[in-house]
């Protein structure tokens, strides 16, 4: 919920921009659009306001710049030496390939901010909802006190108005002493309510105008629009631009109804209709319930309506066609904002299920992974089948930590920073956490011992812009390299899910990137761990930590056989003791259980 609140606030920045653009469009095209088209322009906005809450996660959206993914949890990464598991066959040369090291940071501040935003937002909605419930109870009292229309003259006039509006449904008309201006209420069972004071000595002309106006609300389904507008007002209570847009929409709604009525009148009756509106200007400016529509509005809105009536001319066919075209174009443009407003789309913590391969099974690995929040993925190229344990975790992105060193090496090879034949980098003499790091390193030794300074040196020579472009080109995870070339793969900027890890390994193996084949082979050689009668085992570990405790461990890789290749990724999470070494040990048991490696 806290993460949702943060992303929802970020969505409101985009919503505010959309509202400003809509006002600009209305200002430029107002005179060229019909009154009803100007009113209808607000409905796409109502649709966009609903987007953050709709289940659209299975719809593919285009990638957007990383700057939009505003609030990111500041996970940390660190690795301490662990015991070497015996579940895998002995690794080549040494066990250094299991060691990782990164930095550590706290992630508490964003969580506190998210919780505070959630509480304030919910409290604001609860307050408004309470006031709306009170209004609805008041409306219920009005309904109970209302009496069927008794005046024969008004009933006859009302039937004539139904014919004028081409409405076949018989909408009840009732009178009540508890309202001061006419209104229509009821989403499924609409009813028109007239003030009792206007019926006893009614003026037929004014009464006709009022009835036509209320029936035009019915024709436009304005009671439904009122429901949507007030729902938006509750949910977006904190956004002043949303309230401004809804107020303008309310004005445009009344102007559209006025235009509906004016189209039925002679031009000589326009002044009389305007005077009828002015007669209600000193009455209440709000409906007694929020889900009603009526003829009465505030003074500022009344001024706009009178000016509209004074200059009203029936729209020509050309104006109707132009209005329709503009409406369709503007709606299409607004639909382009859907990916930015969709909470799940703007949330980079999730990936999608693989599309390649039709067969997906869910092995029961609970006995092996008991005590961990773990996601495991295995893809067999021969059978084209996926085996996914715990889909939720398998689709959840985490910091890649040292597993990204595979692609850091590939970038350096492609940039020419190193070559397969010459990859030696000199040690700067500073003591590191592992003795094996305190010497000159080649790509093979640096990958085997997970020498962080080696890959940080490669990344520093590439630079942040080249790194960002590279991860976008290969489609790595959330494709966000942050701003720090030294820590982006371990400071929660870059994230990837187990499913995506497997997909990336397959692309690497098949060289779907279109890179130099010798560079692909150099990286594969650097991550080769062991050989057995099952084939060749390749892999890389990674560890994420917070507050000095290992909370997330990776082991990714593939088993190369004569007739197939099996790609796998395991991510484990726990409050502590969940690092790369633990992931290796558990992955060994899983691969043996699935008869992939022993």
**Rounded to 5 degrees, what angle do the CA atoms 295, 297, 300 make?**
140
Report how far residue 494's alpha carbon sits from residue 472's, in angstroms, rounded to the nearest whole number: 11
Residue 388 to residues 180, 475, 498, Cα–Cα distance (Å): 65, 21, 9
Based on its alpha-carbon atoms, the radius of gyration of the chain, rounded to whole angstroms, reads 33
State the alpha helices, DSSP H only, in 441-497: 443-448, 452-462, 464-474
State the alpha helices, DSSP H only, in 57-174: 108-145, 152-164
Site of tokens 């966009």: 48
**Length of the chain counted residue by residue:** 598
Write out the H or E segment, with its range, that includes residue 204.
helix 204-219
Structure tokens at 567: 């790609």
Report how far residue 230's alpha carbon sits from residue 253's, in angstroms, rounded to the nearest whole number: 14
**Annotated catalytic residue: which of 135, 216, 402, 445?**
402
- Is residue 155 classed as helix, strand or coil in its secondary structure? helix
Report how far residue 470's alpha carbon sits from residue 483's, in angstroms, rounded to the nearest whole number: 14
Report how far residue 393's alpha carbon sits from residue 171's, in angstroms, rounded to the nearest whole number: 55
Nearest to 42 by CA among 219, 227, 252, 238: 252
State the alpha helices, DSSP H only, in 463-545: 464-474, 498-510, 517-526
Report the DSSP pairing between strands 385-389 and 359-361.
parallel
Q: With 0-12 CB in 10 A as exposed, 13-18 as middle and 19+ as buried, what is 595?
A: exposed
Is 402 catalytic? The answer is yes
Nearest to 42 by CA among 289, 189, 255, 237: 255
| Positions marked active-site | 402
């Amino acid at each position: 919920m806290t993460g949702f609140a943060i992303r929802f606030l970020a969505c409101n920045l985009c919503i505010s921009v959309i509202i400003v653009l809509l006002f600009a469009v209305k200002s430029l095209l107002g005179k060229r659009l019909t009154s009803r088209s100007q009113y209808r322009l607000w409905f796409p906005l109502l649709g966009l306001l609903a987007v953050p809450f709709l289940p659209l996660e299975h719809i593919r959206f285009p990638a957007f710049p990383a700057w939009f993914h505003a609030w990111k949890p500041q996970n940390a990464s660190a690795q301490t030496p662990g015991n070497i598991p015996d579940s895998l066959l002995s690794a080549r040369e040494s066990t250094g390939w299991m060691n990782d090291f990164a930095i550590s940071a706290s992630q508490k501040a964003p969580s506190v901010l998210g919780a505070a935003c959630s509480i304030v937002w919910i409290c604001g909605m609860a307050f408004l909802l309470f006031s709306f419930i009170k209004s609805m109870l008041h409306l219920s009292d009005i309904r109970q006190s209302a009496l069927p229309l008794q005046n024969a003259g008004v009933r006859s006039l009302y039937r004539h108005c139904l014919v004028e509006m081409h409405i076949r449904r018989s909408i009840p008309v009732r009178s009540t002493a508890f309202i001061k201006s006419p209104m229509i209420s009821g989403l499924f069972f609409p009813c028109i309510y007239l003030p009792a004071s206007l019926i006893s000595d009614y003026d037929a002309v004014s009464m006709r105008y009022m009835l036509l106006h209320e029936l035009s609300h019915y024709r436009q389904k304005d009671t439904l629009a009122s429901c949507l507008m007030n729902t938006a007002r509750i949910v977006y209570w904190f956004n002043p631009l949303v309230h401004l847009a809804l107020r303008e929409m309310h004005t445009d709604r009344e102007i559209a109804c006025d235009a509906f009525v004016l189209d039925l009148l002679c031009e000589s009756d326009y002044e009389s209709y305007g005077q009828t509106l002015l007669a209600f200007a000193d009455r209440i400016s709000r409906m007694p319930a929020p889900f009603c529509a009526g003829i009465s509005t505030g003074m500022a809105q009344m001024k706009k309506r009178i000016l509209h009536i004074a200059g009203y001319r029936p729209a020509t066919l050309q104006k109707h066609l132009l209005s329709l075209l503009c409406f369709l174009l503007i709606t299409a443009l607004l639909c382009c904002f859907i990916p930015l407003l969709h909470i799940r789309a703007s949330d980079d913590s999730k990936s999608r299920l693989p599309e390649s391969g039709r067969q997906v099974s869910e092995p029961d690995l609970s006995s092996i992974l008991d005590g961990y929040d773990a996601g495991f993925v295995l893809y067999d190229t021969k059978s084209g089948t996926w085996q996914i344990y715990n889909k939720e975790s398998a689709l959840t992105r985490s910091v890649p930590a040292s597993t990204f060193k595979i692609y850091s090496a590939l970038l350096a090879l492609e940039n020419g920073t190193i070559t397969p034949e010459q990859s030696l980098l000199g040690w700067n003499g500073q003591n590191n956490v592992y003795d094996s790091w305190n010497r000159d390193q080649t790509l093979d030794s640096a990958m085997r011992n997970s020498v962080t300074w080696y890959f940080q040196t490669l990344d520093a020579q590439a630079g942040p812009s080249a790194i960002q472009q590279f991860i976008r080109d290969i489609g790595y995870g959330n494709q966000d390299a942050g701003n720090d070339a030294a820590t982006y793969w371990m400071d929660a900027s870059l994230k990837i899910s187990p499913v995506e890890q497997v997909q990336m390994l397959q692309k690497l193996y098949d060289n779907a990137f279109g890179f130099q084949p010798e560079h692909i082979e150099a990286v594969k050689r650097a991550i080769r761990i062991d050989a057995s009668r099952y084939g060749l085992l390749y892999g890389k570990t990674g560890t994420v930590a917070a507050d000095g405790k290992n909370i997330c461990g990776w082991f990714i890789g593939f088993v190369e056989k004569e007739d197939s290749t099996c790609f796998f990724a395991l991510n484990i999470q726990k409050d502590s003791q969940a690092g790369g070494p633990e992931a290796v040990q558990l992955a060994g048991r899983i691969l043996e259980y699935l008869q992939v490696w022993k």
